[in-house]
Chains A and B, each alone.
Chain A
Amino acid sequence: MARNSPASPPRGSPRFVLAATVLAGLVILGAGVFLVLTMRDNPRGAGGTALASAIGGPFHLTDQNGNRVTDADLKGKWSLIYFGYTHCPDACPTALNDIAVALDELGARRAAVRPVFITVDPERDTPEALKSYVASFDAPILALTGTQQEVAQAAKAYRVYYAKHPEPGGDYSMDHSSVIYVMDPEGRFTASFTHESSPEQIAERLKKLLT
């Protein structure tokens, strides 16, 4: 209908080109927004196999003892990587406790696995805060923090989403992807666990991977 309407500018006219450009722009913008929203609502980029090779990558962070740690330092052992924050009273202690319980079931082989806790809240999670926090769990957890930029870079490498959520009274919580990544001793993404994985399931999977 629009094609036959007298108001429709002829092909090749500046108005047609402008209209086509605007339309193309809108389509691209729409696709971008769709992609972002899909990732936000269901960031399976996190655990989906399609992006498996895209999980992991370079990072430069500081551990609970003040030592600088990069992705290269994780090689040589299996890593269980979880992003969270110490002011999180529910999901994060659950994940770290699940990891500790699962490692317990590995017996002698537990030494081959290194649990890693990376904060998404570097503003409050200093190396000192992380040190006492992870010491409370029955596992030797490597806890990492850094500048806002360093943490953002690490989260990007692992396709982890996080955002500050202000609360009344000036406090805030952090929305964040809650996924445990299994990286092999070469630093390659191998498996992931969610909040629905029990410590027993995590242990079973690890036993298979470690044989």
Chain B
Amino acid sequence: MSMKFLAFATGLLVTGGVLAQTGQLEVDNAWARATPGKAENGAAYLTILSPTADRLVSVSTPVARNAELHMMTMKGMVMEMRPLAGLDIPAGHPVSLKPGGEHIMLEGLYEPLHEGQSFLLTLNFEKAGPQAVTVTVEKPGAAGPARAAQH
């Protein structure tokens, strides 16, 4: 192997590494379910992709008294919902919050969420810092974002 090739290969690796590290954390497909009637709690779902390992530590929104990470688990037939202290985001692997797993619990909504409206949600990451996303409201009980389904 020539020195030239080695230098070239090393250069590629280094460049690749730098590029990967300067890539931005992305939050996509943020959606929430419209809340039925006067239901005070809602749930938001989204997908996070980060080039480097990170951790989602907290969430906030102007539409609810409190927003926090929750995990829905089934123990046999019993559904349990528990707050999560944080959510690890591995490098390069998308993490999806979706019905039946993790969600962002919107506790004490000031107004019901109506289908078609959108609102702001701020996700606070350990390394990437605060990331604001726009959440689109879908039907109550919707299984996913309508927008993404059309793709």
Contacts and interface: CB of A to CB of B under 8 A. Distances in A.
Interface of A: 40-44, 46-47, 86-91, 93-94, 96-98, 100, 129, 131-137, 161, 165, 167-169, 171, 173, 175-179, 194-195
B139 A173 contact: no
Contact of B141 (A96, A129, A169): A96
B139 to A, nearest CB: 7
A133 to B, nearest CB: 4
A46 B77 contact: yes
28 contacts: A40-B76, A42-B77, A46-B77, A87-B40, A88-B79, A89-B35, A91-B79, A91-B81, A91-B100, A93-B141, A94-B100, A94-B143, A96-B36, A129-B37, A129-B38, A131-B37, A132-B36, A133-B39, A134-B37, A136-B140, A175-B78, A175-B80, A177-B78, A178-B74, A178-B77, A178-B79, A179-B77, A195-B100
Contact of A42 (B39, B40, B76): B76
B72 interface: yes
Contacts, number: 114
A90 B43 contact: yes
A169 B66 contact: yes
B78 A173 contact: no
Interface stretch (B1-9, B11-19, B21-29, B102-110): B102-110
A136 B140 CA distance: 7
A135 B78 CA distance: 26
B130 interface: no
Nearest to A135: B37
Nearest to B98: A90
Interface string B33-72: 1111111111100000000000000000000001000101
B120 interface: no
Given A89-B43, A89-B106, A90-B72, A178 B78 contact: yes
**Per DSSP, are chain B's interface residues mostly helix, strand or loop, or mixed?**
strand
B139 A90 contact: no
A90 B81 contact: yes
Nearest to B107: A171
B38 A132 contact: yes
A142 to B, nearest CB: 15
Nearest to B141: A97
A85 to B, nearest CB: 10
B129 interface: no
A136 B34 contact: yes
Contacts of A161: 77-78
Given A88-B41, A89-B42, A93-B33, A41 B141 contact: no
Contacts of B36: 86, 93, 96, 132-137
A97 B139 contact: yes
A136 B78 CA distance: 25
B39 A44 contact: no
